[in-house]
Chains A and B, each alone.
Chain A
Amino acid sequence: MIVAAILFVYAALLSTVAPRLLRGAHWAERAPRLGIVVWQVLGASALSAAVLAGLALSVPTVRVSTDLAELLQACVMALTAQYATPGGASAGAAGAVLALAVLGRVAWCTGAALLRIRRERQTHREVLDIVGRPDTARGLVILDHEEPAAYCLPGRHRRTVITTGALRALAADDQLEAVLAHERAHQAERHDAVLAWAQALARAFPRVPLFHIAEAEIGRLVEMRADDVAAARSGRLTTAAALLAVAGGSAPAVALSAGGSTAARRVRRLIEPHRPLSRLRIAAGSLTAVIALAVPLLVVGGPAAAATQLNYCPDGTPAAQVTTMR
């Protein structure tokens, strides 16, 4: 019971307080890859804490034994003991329902999101392959369109697409090279899968602040990460110029999010002096992430390990007899 309570509180803190503290953190922009990992870890940790809390309620801690028959017997004994009382039974049932509901919801929403994304990509690609002009030398598909835009269609049959408007806007070849390096970084690091997962979780639990904040933050950070890769190749100012050329060409009525657009933040970040996070701080951040991920397992695992010292089976039970007969 205490184990379940601790896990519940942990999951609740991760889902509500942690994202508010971390949102827009400056260090994440200086180490976007670490930032992405931290947001992913928060989600995974909160989910596993909720599932384990449910399991801890429904399954009592059982003495671990090397003898399978004995172990099963101990399980049965402990389960009957818990479910003999009405309170224990309802807590157990509620726990099981919670664990199954969380797992089921994640599986269902992720499956639905992946299917939808695959279908949308396929229809887009079918049209693209007929109306686009392939530029095999540069690995591009060119669309005849005035408005500057560049995007990639991720997945197994991936396409990098650029409009004639964007090609005209990009003043020099090295700016185009920056655009391509950015898109290649998305593909190499499977940012589409990272985003799909974040999006699925946000849709699965729309009321949990953690998941929709994580989705927005991850969306921003994968772009900054890809910008960094492009900048390492083509230079930070060249990459900033490429971003500006594609983003600021012809501005339609754009709904501006509070505090300036992500695009503007990305350009500023490339123009300002580059201050990547020190190795030491990245190591510290990674360690924190590992700990956050391990906490739910340790909370469950601790008592279970302690329980190996306990004898749940009273004398005279079949299990005890089996052991005595040996």
Chain B
Amino acid sequence: MAQFGELEAAIMDAVWAAGKPLRVREVLERLSRDPEPAYNTVHTVTEILHRKGWLSKEKDGRAFRYGATRSREDYVAGLMGEALAVAENRTATLARFVQQMPHGEAEELHRLLDQAVAREASK
């Protein structure tokens, strides 16, 4: 499945950009990929995304339309929730660069940093 990873992302991009459910043919038209993937490949990967819960599927005449179940922002917010988890339970799952700090503390440190930079410059 690994080789489908990029195609999955591209298909989701196309559906999100369209803002409405698309047929596989329409998805294919909106993929600006070189070489253009085969219809069957796109169909297969779209089905995989449907099975994974990324896309909903509704009947439209003789074909199906696939729509995003959640917005991209929803997913990003979910990831950020994991990455910024406020609680001090240090999970080893992610290594975050730095935790958020309270406003007062940050201001005080900005001041100290400016002084240090000024000292460095005057040397």
Contact = CB atoms under 8 A, between A and B. Distances in A.
Determine if chain A interacts with chain B.
Answer: yes
Interface of A: 113, 117, 120-121, 124, 127-131, 143-145, 147, 149-154, 161, 163, 179, 182-183, 186, 191-192, 195-196, 199, 215-216, 219, 223, 237, 240-241, 243-244, 246-257, 260-264, 266-268, 271
B18 interface: no
B82 to A, nearest CB: 6
Contacts of B20: none
Q: Is the interface of A mostly helix, strand, loop or mixed?
A: helix
B17 interface: no
Interface of B: 5, 8-9, 12, 54, 72-73, 75-80, 82-84, 86-88, 90-103, 105-107, 109-110, 112-113, 116-117, 120
Contacts of A251: 100-103, 106
A243 B99 CA distance: 9
Given A144-B72, A247-B100, A267 B113 contact: yes
Nearest to B103: A251
Nearest to B97: A150
Q: Is the interface of B mostly helix, strand, loop or mixed?
A: helix
**What are the nearest 9 A-B pairs in CB distance?**
A248-B106, A150-B97, A151-B96, A195-B92, A196-B92, A247-B98, A120-B93, A263-B101, A131-B75
A247 B113 CA distance: 14
B76 A261 contact: no
A9 B4 CA distance: 58
A145 to B, nearest CB: 5
* B86, B92, B99, B117 — most chain A CB neighbours (10 Å): B92
* B80, B91, B101, B102 — most chain A CB neighbours (10 Å): B101
Contacts of A254: 86, 99-102
17 contacts: A117-B93, A121-B94, A124-B94, A130-B9, A130-B12, A143-B80, A149-B83, A154-B94, A161-B79, A182-B97, A195-B95, A246-B98, A247-B98, A247-B106, A251-B100, A251-B106, A254-B86
A143 B113 contact: no
Contacts of A154: 94-95
B86 A271 contact: no
A217 to B, nearest CB: 11
